[in-house]
Structure 1
Amino acid sequence: MKFEALLELVGDEPLFDTSLLLAGDAQRAKIQRQLARWQRSGHVLQVRRGLYSLAPPYRRRTPHPFLVANRMVKASYVSCQSALAWYGLIPEYTPVTVSVTTMRPAPGRLYLGSIVFGMSNQTSGLAIIWCR
């Protein structure tokens, strides 16, 4: 697959799965090898295993932090101050998107252009996921 074909296929999507590229008669090994090449050359950013975003010069839409937080960990929900601010229930500005899950996420940080992603486990059994 050529990079121009990828741009035509996922150019309007802020995030895309490898399953989208594997539709049809595509071979998994070739697609993974090509994605690795595009990562090294700076054309594609890996968000997590199987989830990618085009690099800033090539993407048409920047991923919204709510979308990134939700797609990073399945069964995670935007909540806390982020949800309250989104619905106008608090007057404060919230620069960080907070998402909560009962799953056990792996700690780490992700830098996706201007989005910083991280996780921290809480004693209440919930995991707080934040995007800035």
Structure 2
Amino acid sequence: MNKLIEYVQNNLPYDIFSDKDIAQSIPQKSNDSRYSLIKRALKNNDILKLKRGLYCLTRKYQKHPLDNFSISQIVYGPSYVSMESALSYYGLIPEGVFITTCVSMNRSMTFKTDIGDFIYHRVPQDQLYADVKQVMSENSLFYIASPWKSLCDYVYVHKANWASIDPLENSLRIDTEILPVLSKEEFCQLMENYHSKRITKFIKGIMKDLKI
């Protein structure tokens, strides 16, 4: 077994680690020695590169299976899972989603890795984590937008000119009857968090169709 794997398993609490983590775990080794360990582990497929300076153990060495939603929070942040990934998580869209779609207030970024692609869209808003919940289990931790916030993010990113509930059914094939029901106050709070004309038009159209 590569020495690096032993160091990670014995000294670090997580299966995802950075160059800085390795430097702190094995300070007795030089930068060149640590780089050689990482390079050898990558070549032997013992670790995977998530982005520059960030890695994870491959499945055979992981203490617990890693999920892409949890990984997305570490790769780039602050951010939360949203749009197609969140809608699929809630069972609202029929298609499987193989790219993890996230939202951040930092600049948009895309990371292509061996464990999947992660796309981060910049969506300006007053409070990033408004209408976002934390999902935590023994093996994972991530933040995910509510269904309606995910739809607002979708409208903003894709510049959708939606003013009714029909596009949700026709374009996204969402069964709108299973969408959560919000009060007028909740819809207004969601709308005001964005300051976006597109989102305002969308939510006002939804409220009209739902007779709220």
TM-score normalised according to structure 1 size: 0.67
Distance 1:16 1:93, change over 3 A: farther
- Bigger mean CA offset, 102-111 vs 63-72: 102-111
Q: 1:6-25 to 2 correspondence within 5 Å?
A: 6-10=8-12, 13-23=14-24, 25=27
Unaligned runs of 5+ in 2: 125-155, 159-212
Tell me which of 32, 36, 61 is aligned to 2:35: 32
Divergent runs of 4+, >6 A:
124-128
The SS at the match of 2:61 is coil
Superposed CA deviations along residues 78-109 of structure 1, whole A, max 9, x for unmatched, are 223544666x5x65567434211233344452
Q: Is the strand fraction higher in 1 or 2?
A: 1
Q: Map residues 32-51 of structure 1 onto 2, 5 A cutoff.
A: 32-51=35-54
Question: Which protein has greater RCO, CA pairs closer than 8 Å, 6+ apart?
Answer: 1
Residue aligning to 1:69: 72
Say if 2:117 is the partner of 1:102: no
Residue pair 2:9, 2:15 contacting (<8 A) in 1 also? no
Identity of aligned residues (%): 19
Q: Which amino acid aligns with 2:77?
A: K
Specify the code of the residue in structure 2 equivalent to 1:50: G
Matching residue within 58, 80, 86 for 2:61: 58
Under a length normalisation based on structure 2, what TM-score does the superposition of the two structures give?
0.45
Specify the structure having the higher radius of gyration (Cα).
2
1:70-85 maps to which residues of 2 (within 5 A)? 70-83=73-86
Q: Secondary structure at the match of 1:69?
A: helix
Output the CA distance in 1 between the equivalents of 2:111 and 2:17: 21
